[in-house]
């Protein structure tokens, strides 16, 4: 924001009104002096309305007439008022609208707080037609549908009467999908009316419990998510000695539900709300499952209420963890963390109590406990001895099993943080590495140069010997006659009998193959890595002069010895070389898992070469490009902060982009170079990593906090890419509407969902859908072009699709 003196701006022949119309200026007065405020980096349309505001015009008239001096408080009040009016006139983004709707419901919830509890939430808030309409609008926002369109024939008045009277039919508003085969897995999903009720309950429960959630919880919470959880582990956990993860699993049953109701009863007094949740449980439509699949990835089987109910249930564990942390941390009064020393009367009292009651635990002195939870994924880090980590893990497992009735894998291994093995959490790898000082990096730079030079000479040597071996083989086969090797083969073999039917010039081909097998058996090459290795080591090198061969290997040996000795000597000369390095926590993208998914989805071969995806050939050109662009955008959004992101950049250039080009080339049956020229502008949607990183940084600096809130974007931000194939085009005789909830558009095409994988919990973030329910495999859906693109690029998830729309 720039402040420019008004007299300086107004000099010239143009009138004042003309200047205000042509510039992004807002007039304010500070200390009796008029200023024009220039705001940069915003759209022009946002500030054009500021110049015409009547309050400012009135202030201007008063100043020109000299009717009095304005105070500083009034001047600033006008600035705030002007800013609020401008924000109201600016079009709100999707997440701003969603937050606005949730705040409207929040006001109604706060009115039901009496005597320390929230009462009658079902009849007074959830059953309110305005709440139901706001919840329906939130569903439309998640589906990227304009909320001004009233497309579904939903009578909120009738729903209000049914919910208030307790006659809402939960079972009648569900539908089930079963898998084919012996397993017969059934998925029960809500229809639109029931999903509106679930969304209203979700918002109400979040308003009630959001202030009470612990800071270690990062799942489906405002300002928290995958990014904040990994940032906490990498930045805020200092010097852990041991870490481990726990896998909890159990499906929702009557025992879990009773425990959940008892927890909710501490803050909510509403039997009607509990009866509604009980009815959803009886209809098997809650879909709350501990373990099983990754949460927050937009999978259809994750229910609307599942995230908030799971947070409420595990919030008891979060608070219990604080007690356990105090138990292990409070035993040493002289523990220093960083530069500060903790002096707390509560901790001193707790130390006295523990030391007086349990003297044998004095070995736990100096311990520090860290925990991070994202839904049902639990990460723990311990600073202290391994005995402390084992005891702490045992306490956590016992509490989860005995108090929360969850099944826990007690065999989970406790790993040293400084060890070579990384730990998996939230679909990524976490490891501790040493960050070297500039002096040590300079010493290592010499080692890398010598190693690179030696490896280049080794590659040149291998290429030359392989070329010699191939020439020898070709020359030898040309000189061998059939009569000289015919007696080596078995005359009764099938290969010998069919040789007479071969074409001219191919009669002796099988004899040459047989000769090579005899030769390779004679030189014992079963353990050979490849054909090139055989030609290089067994043919070419023995023929090379001995002096040349010995000198080459002597050079390689000397280079290796030089690197080791020179690096050690250089490091020994550096002052405090060991203390100048620091250990940091790194987040690593699962590149190996990503490569396996590229092979499974058909983007690459087992050797790593790009290939054609046949399921996409029948789709439009822009849809094919959007599908590949969706992979790249997800990787850049999820893994741009990872330390090994350079490996993903290579995959983007060498596999994803080339696979897109080859798919388009197979569609049009032309050469790949012609495709690159023809779709040059369209292929720019598969961005180069540098351009996309700059765009992401620009969006972070200019977007509002709501647009980056993973709680508002829960299920969308980390929704994986699914593979759809074109089933048929829609005709007048067989019409079809878009299956996205609230979308009024007609679907020009029908697509088939292909369930390509079903990862075990916990799984990897790879950019693709991790674990779509098998009942949705080969399921047909109709999508308009806009929502097909939104699904591909990650603007919506499969949770926004109404699978019951198929007739």
Integer Cα distance of 277 and 200 in angstroms = 12
Q: How confident is the model at residue 50 (pLDDT cuts 50, 70, 90)?
A: very low
Other C-beta atoms closer than 10 Å to the C-beta of 412 total 15
**Is the pLDDT score of 185 beyond 90?**
no
249: β partners? 407
User: For 621-640, how does the pLDDT look when each residue is reduced to its tens digit (9 = 90+)?
Assistant: 999 999 999 999 999 889 98
Burial-class residue 727 by CB neighbours within 10 Å (0-12, 13-18, 19+).
Answer: middle
Integer Cα distance of 136 and 304 in angstroms = 13
566 and 454 both lie in a single domain? yes
The larger pLDDT score, comparing residue 70 to residue 259, is at: 259
Please list the alpha-helical segments (H only) found in 210-270: 226-231, 254-264
- What is the value of pTM for the model shown? 0.74
Residue by residue, DSSP assigns 140-192 as HHHTT--TT---S---HHHHHHHHHHT---SGGGEEEEE-SSSS--EEEEE-H
What is the predicted pLDDT for the residue at 374?
93
Residue 528, helix vs strand vs coil: coil
From 727, 722, 705, select the one nearest 768 (Cα to Cα). 722
From 173, 223, 170, 189, select the one nearest 299 (Cα to Cα). 189
**Is the pLDDT score of 52 beyond 50?**
no
159 and 227 both lie in a single domain? no
Q: What is the overall mean pLDDT for the chain?
A: 78
What crossing angle do the helices spanning 192-209 and 156-165 adopt, rounded to 10°? 70
Please indicate, yes or no, if residue 259 is contained in any of the structural domains: no
User: For 207-224, how does the pLDDT look when each residue is reduced to its tens digit (9 = 90+)?
Assistant: 999 999 998 999 888 888
From 774, 784, 781, select the one nearest 798 (Cα to Cα). 781
Domain boundary among 406, 434, 462: 434
The larger pLDDT score, comparing residue 788 to residue 466, is at: 788
**Is the pLDDT score of 487 beyond 70?**
no
Domain boundary among 388, 406, 434: 434
**Is the pLDDT score of 503 beyond 50?**
no
What is the predicted pLDDT for the residue at 260?
94
Cis, bond preceding 762 (omega within 30 deg of 0)? yes
**Is the pLDDT score of 343 beyond 60?**
no
Integer Cα distance of 92 and 46 in angstroms = 12
Please indicate, yes or no, if residue 280 is contained in any of the structural domains: no
118 and 139 both lie in a single domain? yes
Q: How confident is the model at residue 653 (pLDDT cuts 50, 70, 90)?
A: confident
Integer Cα distance of 191 and 105 in angstroms = 22
What is the predicted pLDDT for the residue at 69?
47
Residues 132-144, mean pLDDT to the nearest whole number: 92
611 and 558 both lie in a single domain? no
231 and 378 both lie in a single domain? yes
The larger pLDDT score, comparing residue 436 to residue 642, is at: 642
Sheet holding 25-30, edge to edge: 2-5, 33-38, 25-30
Integer Cα distance of 393 and 115 in angstroms = 39
416 and 527 both lie in a single domain? no
Provide the domain limits for residue 205.
93-212
Reduced 3-state DSSP string for 15-35 = CHHHHHHHCCEEEEEECCEEE
Residues 175-196, mean pLDDT to the nearest whole number: 88
Residues 448-462, mean pLDDT to the nearest whole number: 86
What is the predicted pLDDT for the residue at 688?
53
Element spanning 724, H or E = strand 723-729
Please indicate, yes or no, if residue 725 is contained in any of the structural domains: yes
777 and 688 both lie in a single domain? no
What is the predicted pLDDT for the residue at 526?
60
CB 295 within 8 A of CB 219: yes
428 and 444 both lie in a single domain? no
181 and 242 both lie in a single domain? no
Q: How confident is the model at residue 484 (pLDDT cuts 50, 70, 90)?
A: low
**Is the pLDDT score of 754 beyond 90?**
yes
From 170, 112, 161, select the one nearest 132 (Cα to Cα). 161
Integer Cα distance of 556 and 158 in angstroms = 84
What is the predicted pLDDT for the residue at 38?
47
CB 422 within 8 A of CB 430: yes
What is the predicted pLDDT for the residue at 515?
61
CA dihedral 295, 298, 302, 306 (to 10 degrees): 70
What is the predicted pLDDT for the residue at 88?
56
Beta strand ranges found along 262-348 (DSSP E): 268-269, 289-290, 336-337, 340-341
Please indicate, yes or no, if residue 204 is contained in any of the structural domains: yes
Integer Cα distance of 519 and 361 in angstroms = 71
Domain boundary among 195, 212, 229: 212
198 and 121 both lie in a single domain? yes
CA dihedral for 630, 636, 642, 648, sign (positive or negative): positive
Burial-class residue 6 by CB neighbours within 10 Å (0-12, 13-18, 19+).
Answer: middle
Q: How confident is the model at residue 709 (pLDDT cuts 50, 70, 90)?
A: confident
Please indicate, yes or no, if residue 165 is contained in any of the structural domains: yes
Q: What is the CATH number of the domain that holds 307?
A: 3.30.70.270
Most confident by average pLDDT, 492-501, 519-528, 680-689, 738-747: 738-747
**Is the pLDDT score of 749 beyond 90?**
yes
CB 749 within 8 A of CB 730: yes
What is the predicted pLDDT for the residue at 545?
86
Residues 535-556, mean pLDDT to the nearest whole number: 83
User: For 582-601, how does the pLDDT look when each residue is reduced to its tens digit (9 = 90+)?
Assistant: 788 999 999 999 999 999 99
The larger pLDDT score, comparing residue 295 to residue 694, is at: 295
Tokens of 504: 């001219």
What is the predicted pLDDT for the residue at 27?
52
653 and 568 both lie in a single domain? no
Q: Number of structural domains, the chain? A: 5
CB 404 within 8 A of CB 313: yes
**Is the pLDDT score of 266 beyond 60?**
yes
663 and 684 both lie in a single domain? yes
Please indicate, yes or no, if residue 343 is contained in any of the structural domains: no
Burial-class residue 741 by CB neighbours within 10 Å (0-12, 13-18, 19+).
Answer: buried
Q: How confident is the model at residue 93 (pLDDT cuts 50, 70, 90)?
A: confident
Please indicate, yes or no, if residue 412 is contained in any of the structural domains: yes
Cβ partners under 8 Å of residue 761, min gap 6 = 247, 249, 291, 292, 293, 294
Please indicate, yes or no, if residue 640 is contained in any of the structural domains: yes
């Amino acid at each position: 924001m720039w402040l420019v003196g008004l007299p300086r701006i107004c000099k010239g022949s143009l009138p004042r009104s003309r200047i205000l119309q042509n510039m992004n200026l807002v007039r304010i007065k500070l200390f009796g002096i008029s200023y024009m405020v220039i705001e940069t980096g915003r759209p022009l349309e946002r500030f054009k309305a500021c110049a015409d505001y009547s309050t400012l015009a009135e202030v201007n008239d008063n100043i020109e007439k000299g009717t009095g001096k304005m105070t500083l408080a009034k001047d600033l009040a006008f600035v705030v008022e002007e800013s609020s009016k401008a924000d109201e006139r600016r079009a709100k983004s999707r997440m701003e609208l969603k937050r606005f709707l949730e705040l409207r419901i929040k006001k109604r919830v706060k009115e039901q707080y009496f005597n320390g509890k929230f009462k009658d939430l079902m009849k007074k808030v959830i059953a309110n037609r305005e709440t139901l309409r706001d919840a329906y609008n939130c569903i439309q926002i998640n589906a990227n549908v304009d909320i001004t369109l009233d497309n579904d024939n939903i009578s909120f008045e009738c729903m209000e009467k049914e919910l208030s009277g307790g006659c809402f039919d939960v079972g009648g508003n569900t539908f089930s999908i079963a898998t084919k085969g012996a397993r017969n897995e059934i998925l029960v999903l809500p229809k639109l009316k029931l999903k509106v009720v679930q969304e209203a309950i979700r918002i109400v429960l979040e308003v009630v419990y959001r202030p009470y959630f612990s800071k270690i919880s990062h799942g489906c919470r405002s300002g928290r998510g995958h990014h904040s959880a990994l940032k906490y582990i990498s930045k805020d956990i200092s010097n852990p000695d041991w870490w481990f993860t726990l896998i909890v699993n159990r499906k929702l049953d009557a025992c879990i539900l009773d425990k959940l109701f008892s927890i909710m009863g501490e803050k909510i007094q509403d039997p009607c709300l509990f009866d509604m949740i009980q009815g959803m449980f009886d209809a098997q439509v809650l879909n709350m499952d501990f373990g099983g699949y990754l949460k927050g990835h937009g999978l259809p089987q994750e229910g609307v209420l599942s995230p908030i109910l799971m947070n409420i249930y595990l919030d008891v564990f979060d608070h219990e963890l604080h007690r356990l942390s105090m138990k292990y941390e409070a035993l040493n009064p002289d523990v220093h963390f960083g530069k500060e020393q903790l002096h707390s009367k509560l901790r001193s009292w707790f130390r006295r109590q523990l030391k007086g009651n349990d003297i044998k635990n004095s070995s736990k002195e100096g311990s520090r406990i860290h925990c991070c939870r994202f839904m049902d994924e639990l990460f723990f880090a311990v600073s202290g001895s391994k005995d402390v980590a084992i005891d702490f893990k045992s306490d956590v497992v016992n509490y989860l099993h005995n108090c929360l009735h969850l099944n826990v894998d007690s065999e989970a291994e406790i790993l040293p943080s400084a060890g070579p093995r990384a730990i998996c959490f939230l679909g990524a790898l976490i490891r501790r590495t040493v960050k070297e000082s500039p002096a040590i990096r300079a010493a290592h730079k010499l080692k890398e140069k010598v190693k690179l030079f030696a490896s280049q000479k080794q590659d040149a040597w291998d290429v030359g010997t392989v070329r010699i071996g191939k020439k020898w083989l070709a020359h030898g086969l040309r000189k061998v006659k059939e009569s000289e090797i015919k007696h080596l083969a078995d005359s009764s073999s099938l290969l010998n009998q069919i040789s007479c039917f071969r074409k001219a010039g191919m009669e002796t081909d099988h004899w040459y193959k047989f000769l090579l097998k005899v030769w390779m058996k004679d030189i014992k090459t079963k353990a050979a890595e490849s054909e090139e290795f055989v030609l290089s080591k067994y043919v070419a090198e023995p023929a090379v002069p001995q002096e040349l061969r010995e000198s080459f290997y002597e050079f390689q040996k000397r280079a290796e010895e030089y690197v080791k000795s020179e690096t050690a000597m250089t490091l020994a000369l550096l002052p405090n070389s060991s203390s100048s390095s620091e250990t940091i926590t790194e987040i690593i993208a699962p590149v190996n898992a990503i490569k396996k998914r590229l092979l499974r989805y058909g983007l690459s071969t087992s050797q790593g070469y790009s290939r054609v995806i046949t399921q996409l050939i029948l789709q439009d050109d822009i849809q094919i490009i959007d599908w590949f662009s969706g992979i790249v955008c997800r990787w850049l959004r999820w893994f741009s902060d990872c330390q090994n992101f350079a490996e993903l950049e290579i995959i983007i250039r060498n596999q994803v982009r080339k696979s897109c080009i080859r798919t388009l080339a197979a569609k049009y049956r032309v050469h790949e170079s012609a495709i690159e020229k023809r779709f040059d502008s369209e292929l720019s949607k598969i961005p180069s990593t540098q351009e996309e990183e700059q765009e992401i940084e620009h969006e972070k600096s200019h977007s509002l906090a709501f647009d980056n809130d993973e709680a508002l974007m829960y299920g969308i931000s980390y929704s994986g890419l699914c593979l759809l194939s074109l089933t048929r085009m829609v005709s007048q005789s067989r019409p079809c509407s878009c299956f996205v909830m609230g979308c009024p558009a007609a679907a020009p095409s029908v697509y088939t969902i292909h369930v390509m994988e079903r990862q075990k919990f916990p799984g990897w973030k790879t950019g693709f859908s991790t674990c779509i329910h098998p009942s949705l495999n080969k399921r047909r859906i109709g999508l308009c072009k806009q929502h097909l693109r939104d699904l591909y690029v990650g603007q919506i998830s499969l949770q926004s699709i109404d699978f019951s729309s198929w007739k």
